[in-house]
Amino acid sequence: MFETLQAQPSDKILALMKAFREDPRPEKIDLGVGVYKNAKGQTPIMRAVKTAEKQLWESQDTKSYVGLVGDPAFADAMISLILGDAVARETVAAAATPGGTGAVRQCLEMAKMANPKLRVFVSDPTWPNHLSIMKFMGIEVVPYRYFDNETRGVDFDGMLADIKQAGKGDIVLLHGCCHNPTGANLNLTEWQIVADTLNATGATPMIDIAYQGFGDGLEEDAAGTRLIASSVPETLIAASCSKNFGVYRERTGLAMAVSQDSSAKALNQDTLAFLNRQNYSFPPDHGARVVTMVLTDPALRADWEAELEDVRRGMLKLREQLAGELQRASGSDRFGFLAQHRGMFSRLGASADLVEKLRAEHGIYMIGDSRMNIAGLNEKTVPILADAIVKSGI
């Protein structure tokens, strides 16, 4: 029967990783893979995570199942981190998932159960796996304008005009902070206008928040999500712990369904539990338990927040350095947007041909749409990248 299977399109990021590994040039720079790296090119285990894991190893006395939606303490800790006191806890149904990707999938599954003819309005561009998952699920995707290639900022007028076409039964997918792949974000005034638009159209927001703490700070990065969740009747949220806790391989995420009508929570919770059972039964627990320990232990949390703040400031410093080096090399301030973007990524707005030129002539690897991982840089490689960008005619 398997002779009927068709070859699937290759993952561009994985292909880029392979090409980078095979490149013999010692001065090559990897800006493609979406993983945080420190100045030494390592993805370290955070101090608080390491301590929590040691404590867990010493105290844990069973590896039995926890529950279909995971440990309630994990949900409570993450809901508090992301939503604060913006909504009442009794309005939020939640289920632990295998990473943020699992949370995205479960939110979309829940939405499709509610509306089999679901349409999802998605920013252009967005994280490629959003599109891949929805295509596989047979969900209609409607792109909305988001990134302005001229200003390298948000095309908010275009975005607003497009999401006004969404209606009741539709989902509008939003990035909570640190937009992937562009790094260009909405401000709070724009978030409020989006909330007002959703209320006017009846469309339901779904927020993917994968980089809280990487942009302007833990509270600041959650502000848009909190505003939406407290302003509209229903909100879906897919959260990831991979980046801000550095637990990539532990696959730790949370799917949330917020309803202003608290009587809806029981049905929403049962639905999330049902979906977990159909997809993988019980979600992984190790990463979730470690995250819970870090968030609920004052000393561990203080250490985690301090290290996360160092990470955030380090990326901002690299952004400012790169913008300054590009101004020096080009004699122009046209790259000033790099210092304004937030998170791990920025999109240069360069053509695929120029991105290929960077790779071929300078050994600089980034995604073909010119998304680059700022965390792949260090103080020594920033000037090299700046000179290469200018010499390549970007």
Residue 127 designated active-site = yes
Place of tokens 């095309």: 155
- 243 tagged catalytic: yes
Q: Are 215 and 343 in contact (CB under 8 A)?
A: yes
Alpha-carbon 252 to chain mean position: 13
- Asked if residue 125 has a cis previous peptide bond (ω within 30° of 0), the answer is yes
Give a three-class secondary structure readout of 148-201: ECCCCEECHHHHHHHHCCCCCCCEEEEECCCCCCCCCCCCHHHHHHHHHHHHHH
The active-site residue, picked from 93, 103, 243, 304, is 243
Show the DSSP H helices in the chain as ranges: 12-22, 47-59, 72-83, 99-114, 128-137, 156-163, 188-201, 218-231, 265-279, 286-296, 298-330, 337-340, 352-362, 381-391
Phi, psi of 236 (to 5 degrees): -100, 140
Tokens 């190790």 sit at which residue?
Answer: 286
Q: Are 239 and 254 in contact (CB under 8 A)?
A: yes
How far lies 180's CA from each of 282, 328, 391, in Å?
A: 29, 27, 26
Q: Which of 95, 111, 127, 239 is catalytic?
A: 127
Contact 126, 323 (CB under 8 A): no
* Active-site option among 155, 162, 208, 303: 208
CA dist 169 and 142 (Å) reads 13
Instruction: Report, as residue numbers or ranges, the catalytic residues.
Output: 127, 208, 210, 243
